[in-house]
Amino acid sequence: MPIRTHGHGPIRAIAIHGWFNNHAAFEALLPALDAERFTIALPDVRGYGARRGSDGPYTVATMAEDAIAAADALGWERFSVIGHSMGGKAALRVAVGAPGRVERIVGITPVWAGPAPFDAETFAFFRGAADDVAIRQAILDITTGEQLPLAWLRESAERSVAICDRDAFAAYLESWAGDDFTAQATGIEVPVLVIGGAHDRGVPEDVIRSTWLAALKQARIVVLPGAGHYPMDECPLILAREIIGFLDTGQSR
């Protein structure tokens, strides 16, 4: 499994990307993460990026298993996990699957451990994204508050098609929207930072509060006022500041 890394510092974290991205989702954050302080592992999930053509299953559970395997390959006994969107659900699964090894969790506009609150019409719409780039563009627009430039929406939708296998994309939806390991996730007792976006209509603040914050004893939330579902693109330096402040407890900025 190819694993890109950034930095060589003592603070170790695995960053798990979301449904529309590969590991490059975190690219804009990296210049802000001091290479002397951080080592960030940036794997692609199965069917995405350097792992296009790889076998499934394409599930959140497998995403977590592969993240733990990446930590093993790097020789990391202890590490934190950063997850965006469906990668946030996988981050919880890592903590469930590797008890005692995960130090902290950062969920960026993250999906919860339970089923997504989709009605039948919304689920059908999301399923259509596997074969229709226009639906992907619409999802990007809706989940960022219909405030971002059309060119960015179009390029991001087209790129999402290019960087992953169609069947993997379709299968991951069924997993991140349908899987339920809430009972196991509520036992997680490590510090958790949930970063929401004020314009995110996919994972809005009230959903985060009724799931992540209600279930996890050590969770807290920060809502970024200018962001929607993709703060890595919308406000990367502000996002990086929050991540640094949470993971690097000895550094104030």
pLDDT tens readout for residues 135-158:
999 999 999 999 999 999 999 999
Q: Is the pLDDT score of 252 beyond 70?
A: no
Among residues 219, 222, 142, which one has the least CA distance to residue 188?
219
- Strand (E) positions, 22-78? 38-43
Tens of pLDDT, residues 30-49: 999 999 999 999 999 999 99
pLDDT in tens, 63-104: 999 999 999 999 999 999 999 999 999 999 999 999 899 999
* pTM, 2 dp: 0.96
Cβ-contact 129, 156 below 8 angstroms: no
Taking residues 192-201, report their average pLDDT: 98
Over range 197-201, report the average pLDDT. 97
Whether the Cβ atoms of residue 166 and residue 131 lie closer than 8 Å to each other: yes
Domains of the chain: 3-247 (3.40.50.1820)
45 closest CA partner among 164, 166, 179, 220: 164
Give the closest residue to 185 by CA, choosing from 84, 89, 102, 110. Answer: 89
* pLDDT score recorded for residue 249: 76
Q: Is 222 helix (H, G, I), strand (E, B) or coil?
A: strand
